[in-house]
Structure 1
């Protein structure tokens, strides 16, 4: 019996291994305005730094040292530091958690005004002023938590991030119904409840979809209508503030380790190309990595793009090239199971370049673009 249980237990253990980091940060002490800093980063690395979440300070030993230097520089010289977030003219809706906005459930006539945060009431969504107060719902690793405290949207977001994961996201009709049922069992008054939906005009320099924001409590304030770029400050863990883009500050570049190759190759040919010219076909072992794949896959010229995902027929399971099992799942409906003829077709995994960019199973002979990694 012990021998029978060994392989499943080993594979379960593999799911606890932390993900590989696919972005490195480089602190540039030379002072430039925001546009000059952007140009420097694009020439030397990938772009001005995009931040996906607060963990950007502790991703790897190298990045720890970089962000320790930034924090030290902030404190020693009281010096602000540019990152890649810039104010644009068009408002876009985001989820606080960074999930893509694929589903909206507005009440009739909504959104109707310039308010920028969202509540749910009677199963539908309404825009509210972000400084209004309400109870709210946090997401956790095991489900949802109803917080029966009245806070404004920013305070609710901070509470969820400190105590759980984030304000709740709603990605489809099924999750919307689950949320309504959850609220009905805990909010008998039928009052409005904050969810994680907000809109702003800020855009990352590399066109990333990251909706993560880490503003200081009074920011952004757009002083004199002329503060369109973002700095980290010496407060706390480096909360952000908006500043005039003409100021001269040091800055942080990021170097992305995902590369979309626009050649059309079979899976085996793509694997050979990545190993000869980079490191390997990409593995997607977390929600964060999927978001980075979603950011780069938009550059593809084929409807799907190869990943380093293959079907291990003898064990009736999918594995990454690294040997890790598929712990994080993002399969499109009808995909992800082992087909009866998988040995004949040699099925491999790809990510759709359009739509909600889920994974699909295809015969390895299909000729697609692919994503290489430099780690």
Structure 2
């Protein structure tokens, strides 16, 4: 294979690989503008899925033009879904929610799982916290709920429910919510099956590789990701409205 070639361009540079080409765009844009630009002229904002790609992009970057560049990783603040993926179970009732006031608030960058308070209202919380849980057996659109007293994190609770029942509980109505609220001991918080698929790539690829800088991501309103080429390409989360350089691919 020929070594990658770097070709200067008016707004950026291009590196040619056998399968994909990567373009640095140094004209500052916010993340949404950068995504639109990449999709219109190329394929999308870049997906960085290996250390080899980090190294390659580091070699391409013109740090004097753009130390920070948008990549395709973003925090999806609205992508809540149920652990049970059977669409036939929900019918028209898959969007039922009973959040506590001000929730979900994404107060932690890891907040992507849901528990039910003693009063029946829901809160988002880090999935590694441990609570009891509510499992469900389902058949068609019928559901039977089971309180599990063993304290587990959300992922372990999901695995337990899938092993012994159908899945963690999905809640489609106030009636089902009340059934669950009254079946477990008073004062206890329990996991239910709602979770958020948080960090996503713009092109839809699974988020399997990460290269966060120390102390990152910080969360809050910083929902888009830059590669910091003054820090060997490590990632930082930044507010999506700020204007930065960007990296496209096709």
Q: TM-score range by the shorter chain?
A: 0.3 to 0.5
RCO (CA 8 Å, sep 6+): is it higher in 1 or 2? Answer: 2
Q: TM-score, normalised by structure 2?
A: 0.46
The structure where helix makes up a greater share of residues is 1
Q: TM-score, normalised by structure 1?
A: 0.32
